[in-house]
Structure 1
Amino acid sequence: MAEFDGKVALVTGGFSGIGGATARVLSARGATVVAAGIPPKGAYEELPPGVERVDVDVTDESATARLVTQVVAAHGGLDILVAAAGIQRYGIAAETSSDEWNEVLAVNVTGAFHAVKHALPHLRARGAGSIVIVSSVQAFVTQAAVAAYTTSKGALNALARSIAIDEAKNGVRANAVCPASVDTPMLRASARAFSDGSDRGTQELVESWGRMHPLGRVARPDEVAEAIAFLAGDRASFITGISLPVDGGLLANAAVVLPG
């Protein structure tokens, strides 16, 4: 049997990037997967034929509740929730508008909360379930000018810990994954904005960011998806409440460089 045969998984932010890669990995290993998110401005990223795609804005609690009800009604239950919806905005605290702050917190934190809140009764009903929240290394360390974003990621790690403690008695595990730079549409958009805007300039900046990681490159989305799949599955049955860096050694690397 495949690892996730008979399991039902909901992936928010599941149309592209880390969420899309996770939907593909879980589906390939036997899960029934529903990918949910905001319709892209361009074409949808390719997902396997077996992955169901549902348009939803996770900042809308009623819509998120309907999504979970729809998944359970169609597939008989829910075993795995991956909360991967997220946005990035730049700005220091003194210059971030309230609208920008609220937008980032609404998607990254409140959106995850909505999904968790409405998934939990169904995960409990299984007697065992797994929640994986996509956070960031910026929950631990912070680059310049990301006040709202880094705050949101710190909150997600705390949310995962809280769920882990509160739901252990119900057999539900909760963990966070904390990637460093990952080659996603969101990273590419940032690289385009901070370069000359050309394809070459964007690629050069992505490669430059990669060289800041000890492994010398940015991650692929599927590499993060592998960590998510591990935490979601039975191989991690005694792991709950952790925030797992998937960072190419970034957090292990001291900023001080010796001469010579």
Structure 2
Amino acid sequence: MKHALVTGYLNGMGKGTYEALQKAGYQVIGWDILDQTDAVDVSSVESVRAGIARFPKDLKLDAVALCAGIWSEAPFLQTTVEQWNDLMGTNAFGIFNCVQQLVPHMNPGGAFAVIASASAMRGVSFESAYSASKFAVAGFVEAVARELAAPPRSLRINAVCPFYVRTPMTDRALIEKERLTGISVEESYRLEGAEVPLGYVAEKEDIADFMVALLGPASRYVTGAVIPITGGAHCGYGAVLSSYNEKENYNG
């Protein structure tokens, strides 16, 4: 039996990855800050240590999917220090924290797959803090890949960079965007879908299935990769933002 761990497993892409790993035959441990029984906050060293302390005796992991993350948007001059610290703490430090503490609990040849973002490939207006946190994730993955690959660990680590995905987190962010711009949530999804060559905004399963592939033997020769999963939207990503710039109350 292979063992996996998924952070942010109660919602969105984390939930999709958790379920997809179960279907693939893994015994899966879920970590989430919203877990009412054994919450794990990836931005806390102590919380991650407590989660590891609850592992069954002698457990070794074969796959780790790091999906916990937060998203918020604001014009740069309205971005608060609290927003910056929250995004960096969860999105960037949370990845560093989990990888560093979980490496000793991995089987040789195991793999990490990390959720980054299309905003880790190109800076996006109104996402100065979010983009910075996700660029940090991409840089971290490239930086540690060679170290983790060295025998006897022979661990792989890769990041995926989704464009918009229909998740509760995206819904919350678009509700805030509606307040700032007057563009409704569904209209935002429509606009973003129009930017995708494949013609639609991703569902969580579109990302989860690829996460499972990255964690398994089919990707045994892939490490240190930062991979767009955008339906092709990264090929010219950003044009749709002109429609937001036309909204005076969102220009700061």
Please tell me the TM-score bracket, short chain as reference: 0.7 to 0.9
Deviation track 1:90-121 (CA, whole Å, cap 9, x = no partner) reads 12443322221111100001111111111101
Q: Which residue in the other structure is 1:59 paired with?
A: 43
**Number of residue-to-residue matches in the alignment:** 235
Q: For structure 1, which segment, 246-255 or 164-173, has the greater mean C-alpha deviation from structure 2 after superposition?
A: 246-255
Q: Which residue number in structure 2 is paired with residue 100 of structure 1?
A: 83
Any idea what SS the aligned residue of 1:127 has?
strand
- Structure 1 unaligned segments of length 5 or more: list them: 1-5, 45-52
Partner of 1:129, secondary structure, is strand
Report which stretch shifted further, 160-169 or 144-153: 160-169
In structure 1, the partner of 2:191 is 208
Cα-to-partner distance string for 1:25-45 (whole Å, 9 max, x where unaligned): 0001110111111217xxx9x
SS of equivalent residue, structure 1 residue 218: coil
Contact 1:80 1:232 in 2 (8 A): yes
Unaligned runs of 5+ in 2: 240-252
Give the drift of 1:74.
5.1
**Any idea what the Cα deviations from partners look like across 1:55-93, whole Å, max 9, x if unmatched?**
21111111102212322x257211111111111121244
Q: Deviations over 1:170-229 (max 9, x none)?
A: 2100000000010011111122222369xx942232122211111221101111011111
Matches of 1:205 and 1:140, distance apart in 2:
21
Correspondent of 2:177 among 180, 194, 209: 194
The question of whether the paired residues in 2 share the 8 Å contact of 1:88 and 1:186 is answered with yes
Letter in 1 for 2:18: A
Aligned to 2:2: 7
Equivalent residues in 2 for 1:137-176, closer than 5 Å: 137-169=118-150, 170-176=153-159
- After TM superposition, the score normalised by the length of structure 1 is 0.84
Q: Does 1:239 align with 2:241?
A: no
Q: CA RMSD in A?
A: 2.1
1:9-24 alignment to 2 at 5 Å? Answer: 9-24=4-19
Contact preservation (8 Å) 2:196, 2:231? yes
- Per-residue deviation at 1:137? 0.8
- Percent of aligned positions that are identical: 28
Contact 1:196 1:202 in 2 (8 A): no
Output aligned runs, 1:84-99, within 5 Å: 84-99=67-82
Q: Distance in 1 between matches of 2:237 and 2:38?
A: 43
RCO (CA 8 Å, sep 6+): is it higher in 1 or 2? 2
User: What amino acid is the match of 1:194?
Assistant: K
